[in-house]
Structure 1
Amino acid sequence: MTLPVTVLDVVAVRRITPRTARITFEAQALADDVGGTPDQQLKLCFPRPGQREPVLPAQQDDPMGWYRAYLAIPEAERPLLRSFTLRRRQPGTRRIEIDFVLHGSTGPAAAWALRAAPGDRLGMVGPSTLYAPPVPFAEAAVAADWVLLAGDETALPALATLLEALPAGVRALAWVEVADTAERQELVSRADLEVRWVHRDGAAPGAALTAAFRGAEPPAGEPLVWMAGEAGAVRALRRRLVEEWGVPKPRIDFTGYWRHRLTQDDAPTAEDLADAQERLAARS
């Protein structure tokens, strides 16, 4: 199975909160299954300074061939890669929506999104069902007594698609940390949903969300947990759920989307590598 590489043209830019931009792209090519399942991960290719559009790796015939082709691009021309989640595909079109958290002007993704306008161009690698979990989230949720989804604003695109995929009759809890009240987004689900918004109000990333679980009592029965956000905060919250709520580790799907004071270009820490190994073992 190949990992698709395509060109994206900006069609529209809309602020859905003061710090989040929803950008609509027209893809030059898009597989039929894109947007058909929740939490579809992809990589965006951003142009280097001085480039109007990124130089993209050639399409390859094997899943990791794109990365070898990417590394073969001269470093001065090689696009900057950042990971995102598909928020939505507009039915019957090649138009997709991706949310950008505007957390400053230094990172390539946020800096690009701050000035994005119709006609701008990016590249996209993925998404692909190759990396889908062995048991679909909605199917696993039906088999559980309750579902918890937790994260920060970077997790909201994936979290929202997972909630939208849940059927009626599922008990779902969504605990989300955002900067302040203005950053709340509407979350829609057919499930029996309870949403708790936690405001950071200047605290360190993840501190408010982790603290919110202190003293809270988990629902009775078998859980299913999904969480994502700042890597250190995800680790701390996972420990709390295991040690204080008694959630078995195999029942927690966790991902560190970003790292405080580090970028995706920085080398992984020992904790990052340990997390990756544990996630691979859980899915094997």
Structure 2
Amino acid sequence: MSTPDTLAFRFFSLHVVRTRRLGPSLVRVTFAGDDLAHFHSGGRDQSLSLFIPAEGRTEPGVPVEEGENWWQAWREQPDGVRAVMRSYTLRALRREPDEIDIDFVLHGVGPDAAVPAGPASRWAARAKAGDRVQLIGPAVTDNRAIRFRPPEGTDLVLMWGDETALPALLACVEALPAGTPVRAWVEVSDAGDVQQVSTPADAEVTWLVRDESCAEGSPMALGAIKQAELPPAAKPYVWIAGESGCVKTLRRHFVGERGIERRQVTFVGYWRRGLTEEQLRELPED
């Protein structure tokens, strides 16, 4: 991982203002802080790096004072001190007062969870007003961590995402111009996680409650998309984000079977099945 671009990105010291449970698997955490006056983003799928305190600590161990050397200094901190870093997307930015929302998926939280919760899920499940975090976010409105960029002349927007992509997907749909034709498919693990979508766009959002007994990644979403009759479009744009294996499968469908040009497809792997974010970060770049 590279250090944050001193022109486009910077550290923000933030604290929790409030939390809101959105469903069995989702919680929204609202953050504030004086630094947010310098937070600027013009994109709806803005990527962020969030640092939360190590277990048992109240402050995130991030050596911000090291400047461009913060990454190496952070890596060298001992276990139990070093902050946990996780990648998220911005759900909303508001002014007067300055606040941002980040939606967390609560993997493994609860007595009936099939897998143990990770550190970010545990933190989000019990977050309370005043809890402190660090964030690497944008200092300029247009930056490289924004991926949703429909080209001029786009006459159909196609989208897919799982829970991890849900905040970005909904924010993008909500911000599209009035009348824009949109077909979106969203996978969630519980029917209680389905959310209302309010947008001026001409949007049809299909919610799919995942069958956790299926070993293959996203067969339900792929089947639904293959069966979908799409309106004719001269210049479609596709945005797919979530689990890496599912993203690759759906990209092959849109490009290989639907015949959509590769340059009209934006695809982002937010996570990879079977790997923690630390393990994924250690993999060589494709």
TM-score (norm 2): 0.84
Partner of 1:25: 31
Q: Give secondary structure in 2 for the equivalent of 1:55.
A: coil
The letter of the residue matching 1:37 is G
Per-residue CA distance 1:21-78 (angstroms, 9 max, x = gap): 011111240245535431111111021223211112326776xx55345335455522
Partner of 1:118: 129
Partner of 1:104: 108
Which of residues 258, 261, 264 in structure 1 aligns to 2:271?
258
Give the conservation status (yes or no) of the 8 Å contact 1:153–1:177: yes
Give the conservation status (yes or no) of the 8 Å contact 1:180–1:201: no
Give the conservation status (yes or no) of the 8 Å contact 1:147–1:224: yes
Query: Do structure 1's residue 34 and structure 2's residue 40 form an aligned pair?
Result: yes
Q: Give secondary structure in 1 for the equivalent of 2:35.
A: coil
Which of residues 14, 27, 37 in structure 2 aligns to 1:8?
14
Give unmatched runs, 5+ long, in structure 2: 110-116
Seen in structure 2, the aligned counterparts of structure 1 residues 214 and 181 have a Cα distance that, compared at 3 Å, is: same
Structure 2 distance, partners of 1:61, 1:69, is 10
* RMSD of aligned alpha carbons: 2.4
Query: Do structure 1's residue 53 and structure 2's residue 66 form an aligned pair?
Result: no
Seen in structure 2, the aligned counterparts of structure 1 residues 269 and 125 have a Cα distance that, compared at 3 Å, is: closer
Aligned length: 268
Seen in structure 2, the aligned counterparts of structure 1 residues 36 and 243 have a Cα distance that, compared at 3 Å, is: closer
Structure 2 distance, partners of 1:72, 1:94, is 33
The letter of the residue matching 1:263 is T
Partner of 2:246: 233
Give the conservation status (yes or no) of the 8 Å contact 1:58–1:69: no
Partner of 1:78: 82
1:133 deviates by: 5.1
The letter of the residue matching 1:173 is R
Q: What is the percentage of aligned positions where both structures have the same residue?
A: 41
Partner of 2:196: 186
Which of residues 193, 213, 232 in structure 2 aligns to 1:220?
232
Partner of 1:211: 223
Give unmatched runs, 5+ long, in structure 1: 275-284
Query: Do structure 1's residue 143 and structure 2's residue 153 form an aligned pair?
Result: yes
The letter of the residue matching 1:44 is L
TM-score (norm 1): 0.85
Give the conservation status (yes or no) of the 8 Å contact 1:206–1:230: no
The letter of the residue matching 1:234 is V
1:91 deviates by: 2.4
